[in-house]
């Protein structure tokens, strides 16, 4: 097995829990490597640190698969990893049949996402090394869960960076066009074939419950509503009405369906529009809401995109604050990991200054427990979710 020797001068990122070895941290490689091979990572003194798969074409040179030198990367390894991921969900989400089952690096299966929708599994294989391990892991998933079907949603642009083809493919059994999930006692239809990412965003499960104390009798704006998960929760917790805004007509069609199937038809409106334009228009019309929810996609997909992203977050939050009635609430999220928690909070402060608002922080939250966070790995700690009371200043 080839050995990747790290530089003497480097941050001890791997020792801190980061599952990635960047090319800039590598001093040299002993032996032949082919893309996707399992290699040993050692420090500058030759001490073993980890084993992982290598991709010489990527900035992320090695992704860690095990910290145990004696552990072969074989079917038993895959079984232990899947069992550990299942045990985590069983402990922290007892009885939940729809959730993120495997969250890549944070479940020590780098480059693999598995979302479970009852007896259907939807999978993203995000790296070359994982592509080579996938068949083995699929067999373990079939053995442990006996799913009706497994769908590969490999239509993800990051695969191109790894030199992998894009596409959607049935990997096992059968998968219907729409699947139903239950969340917090509510039901949602999910388009696992064509919907965004794997079709549903499980990371906000617990945050959707956190809006309960805000929305009784409220007029709510659910901006970036996607298939209506926040809207349906708001209605369940007693909101008088919800306005859903999203630029995807397909997502809004499902949102409407989801509102109706939970028994809240007639209490929601759906607007297919660009949120930036729509927020501006609502401010100009003088509209007010008791609660404004902003759950945008990641504006900063890379560090280079960060300045533009900060402007974007500031703009939507500034407008969102202006739309909140005195003493109402802004519920605002960012899922860009480049936008670190403090930077996000500072951006909210900037927006409040310009909007002439005073904010009181009710809660600052992260992702749901099926999205574990590896301490020391910023990438896995991506979701920020703030609940703020909004008051006028002058
Ligand atoms: N709140 C949702 C998830 C939002 S995902 C939930 O709980 O499920 C982000 C959503 O923003 C997607 O549905 C996408 O269609 C929408 N979107 C992205 N850019 C947008 C824009 N500029 N204007 C309006 N919607 C946008």
Domain ranges of the chain: 3-66, 75-175, 180-392
- Catalytic, 272? Answer no
The C-alpha atoms of residue 132 and residue 115 are separated, in whole angstroms, by 20
Q: Is the CB of 230 under 6 A from ligand 1?
A: yes
Quote the pLDDT of residue 301. Answer: 85
Q: Is the CB of 275 under 6 A from ligand 1?
A: yes
Q: Is the CB of 274 under 6 A from ligand 1?
A: yes
CA of 284 to the centre of ligand 1 (A): 22
Instruction: Report which of 267, 320, 264 is spatially closest to residue 294, judged by C-alpha positions.
Output: 320
- Strand 324-334 and strand 289-294: the pairing is parallel
Q: In what order do the strands lie in the sheet with 357-365?
A: 268-272, 241-246, 219-223, 289-294, 324-334, 384-392, 357-365
Quote the pLDDT of residue 333. Answer: 98
The C-alpha atoms of residue 28 and residue 8 are separated, in whole angstroms, by 11
Quote the pLDDT of residue 377. Answer: 81
CA of 151 to the centre of ligand 1 (A): 23
Residue corresponding to tokens 């402990």: 91
The C-alpha atoms of residue 114 and residue 323 are separated, in whole angstroms, by 38
CA of 156 to the centre of ligand 1 (A): 17
Q: Write down the CATH number for the domain with range 180-392.
A: 3.40.50.150
CA of 224 to the centre of ligand 1 (A): 4
Atom of ligand 1 nearest to the CA of 295: 1
The C-alpha atoms of residue 310 and residue 340 are separated, in whole angstroms, by 11
Atom of ligand 1 nearest to the CA of 246: 25
Q: In what order do the strands lie in the sheet with 149-154?
A: 98-103, 112-117, 120-125, 149-154, 167-173
Q: Over its length of 394 residues, how does the chain's per-residue pLDDT go in tens digits?
A: 999 999 999 999 999 999 999 999 999 999 999 999 999 999 999 999 999 999 998 899 999 999 999 999 999 999 999 999 999 999 999 999 999 999 999 999 999 999 999 999 999 999 999 999 999 999 999 999 999 999 999 999 999 989 899 999 999 999 999 999 999 999 999 999 999 999 999 999 999 999 999 999 999 999 999 999 999 999 999 999 999 999 999 999 999 999 999 999 999 999 999 999 999 999 999 999 999 999 999 998 888 999 999 999 999 999 999 999 999 999 999 999 999 999 999 999 999 999 999 999 999 999 999 999 999 887 788 999 999 999 999 7
Q: Write down the CATH number for the domain with range 75-175.
A: 3.30.750.80
Atom of ligand 1 nearest to the CA of 201: 8
Quote the pLDDT of residue 386. Answer: 98
Quote the pLDDT of residue 380. Answer: 80
Query: What is 3-66's CATH number, 3.40.50.2300, 2.30.130.10, 2.30.33.40, 3.30.1490.20?
Result: 2.30.130.10
Q: Is the CB of 297 under 6 A from ligand 1?
A: yes
The C-alpha atoms of residue 337 and residue 341 are separated, in whole angstroms, by 9
Q: Is the CB of 295 under 6 A from ligand 1?
A: yes
CA of 246 to the centre of ligand 1 (A): 6
Quote the pLDDT of residue 302. Answer: 86
Same fold, 3-66 and 180-392: no
Of the residues 99, 223, 244, 335, only one is catalytic, namely: 335
Confidence (pTM): 0.96
Quote the pLDDT of residue 394. Answer: 79
Quote the pLDDT of residue 262. Answer: 98
Looking at residue 5, the DSSP 8-state letter turns out to be: E
Quote the pLDDT of residue 229. Answer: 98
Q: Is the CB of 226 under 6 A from ligand 1?
A: yes
């Amino acid at each position: 097995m080839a050995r990747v020797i790290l530089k003497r001068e480097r941050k001890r990122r791997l020792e801190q829990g980061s599952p990635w070895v960047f090319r800039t941290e590598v001093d040299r490689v002993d032996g032949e490597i082919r893309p996707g091979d399992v290699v040993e990572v050692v420090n500058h003194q030759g001490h073993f640190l980890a084993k992982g798969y290598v991709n010489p074409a990527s900035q992320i040179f090695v992704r860690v698969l095990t910290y145990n030198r004696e552990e072969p990367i074989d079917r038993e390894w895959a079984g232990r990893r899947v069992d550990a991921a299942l045990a985590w969900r069983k402990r922290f989400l007892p009885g939940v049949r729809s959730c993120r089952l495997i969250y890549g690096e944070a479940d020590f299966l780098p480059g693999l996402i598995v979302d479970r929708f009852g007896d259907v599994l939807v999978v993203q294989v995000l790296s070359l090394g994982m592509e080579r391990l996938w068949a083995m892991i699929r067999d373990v998933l079939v053995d442990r869960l006996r799913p009706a079907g497994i769908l590969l949603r490999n239509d993800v642009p990051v695969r191109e960076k790894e030199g992998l083809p894009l596409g959607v493919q049935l990997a096992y059994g059968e998968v219907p066009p729409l699947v139903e999930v239950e969340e917090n006692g509510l039901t949602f239809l999910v388009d696992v074939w064509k919907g965004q990412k794997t079709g549903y965003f499980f990371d906000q499960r617990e945050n959707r419950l956190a809006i309960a104390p805000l929305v009784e009798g409220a007029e709510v704006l659910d901006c970036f509503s996607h298939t209506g998960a926040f809207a349906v929760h708001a209605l369940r917790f007693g909101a008088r009405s919800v306005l859903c805004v999203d630029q995807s007509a397909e997502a809004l069609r499902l949102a409407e369906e989801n509102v109706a199937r939970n028994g809240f038809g007639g209490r929601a409106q759906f607007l297919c529009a660009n949120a930036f334009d729509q927020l501006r228009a609502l401010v100009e019309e003088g509209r007010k809401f008791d609660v404004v929810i902003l759950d945008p996609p990641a504006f900063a997909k890379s560090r280079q995109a960060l300045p533009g992203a900060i402007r974007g977050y500031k703009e939507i939050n500034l407008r969102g604050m202006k739309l909140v009635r005195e003493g109402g609430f802004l519920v605002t999220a960012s899922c860009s990991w480049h936008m670190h928690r403090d930077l996000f909070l500072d951006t909210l402060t900037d927006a409040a200054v310009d909007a002439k608002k005073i904010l009181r922080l009710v809660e600052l939250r992260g992702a749901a427990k099926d999205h574990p966070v590896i301490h020391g790995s910023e990438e896995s700690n991506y979701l920020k979710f703030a609940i703020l009371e909004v008051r006028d200043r002058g």
